[in-house]
Amino acid sequence: MENAIFEAALDQLTSGGYARLTMEGVAGAARTGKAALYRRWASKDELVIDALDATLPRPYDTPDLGSAHRELLQLIEGFAGAMGSRPGAAIQVLMGEIDHERAEVFKEFITRRVIEPTTETILAILRRGAERGDVRPGAATPVVADVVPAMLLYQVKICGRRNLGPEYVARLVDEVLLPIIRV
């Protein structure tokens, strides 16, 4: 039943936007009662956060592939794919719609659940690359790690691109990251 509720919440969010998402609409689409939703989630904010948390791909450590270049490509392709997924589309709706006060709740979630794990994984890749000799010593810094999420969010939020395919990811790695981290 929880999966049906999360699917209904994401459907409402991506099709009608945050402002039009209602607990009543989610309950109807999930074929449950509104009271059942309110017993579990005090607000639609809580429901949306739980739906996103349950459906977004989990961050993972990129295995040692023998080169920082290949590891970065694999990680960023996964991140870009998640941004193009239904939960990623829901996050994009939230980022475009919610007011400043409510944004703090979602900003904390996105930072904790998406941005921080991604930048930590990038830092791990860069540190491993420095140990192997394919990344310059000192390149594993938070500012360098922030480049990837910043560029992807810029493409989605400012440029309006919905799908960032392998071509864009390769250009991001080859034209932006590699020049920053090369030995």
Q: What is the pLDDT of residues 6-46, one digit of tens each?
A: 999 999 999 999 989 999 999 999 999 999 999 999 999 99
The structure tokens listed for 174 are 């080859």
* Residue ranges matching CATH 1.10.10.60 in the chain: 2-43
Residues 6+ away with beta carbon under 8 Å from 176: 147, 151
Average pLDDT in the chain: 90
The predicted-structure confidence for 39-91, as pLDDT tens digits, reads as follows 999 999 999 999 999 998 877 778 899 999 999 999 998 888 888 888 888 88
The mean per-residue pLDDT over the stretch 124-151 comes to 95
Which one has a higher pLDDT value, 7 or 158?
A: 7
Residues 6+ away with beta carbon under 8 Å from 104: none
Query: What is 128-182 written as a DSSP string?
Result: HHHHHTSS-TT---HHHHHHHHHHHHIIIIIS------HHHHHHIIIIIIHHHH-
Domain 56-181 has CATH 1.10.357.10: yes
Side chain identity at residue 12, one-letter code: Q
The structure tokens listed for 60 are 């993972």
* Residue ranges matching CATH 1.10.357.10 in the chain: 56-181
The predicted-structure confidence for 93-110, as pLDDT tens digits, reads as follows 887 777 666 678 888 888
Residue 134 is predicted with a pLDDT of 95
Instruction: Determine the topology of domain 2-43 in CATH.
Output: Arc Repressor Mutant, subunit A (1.10.10)
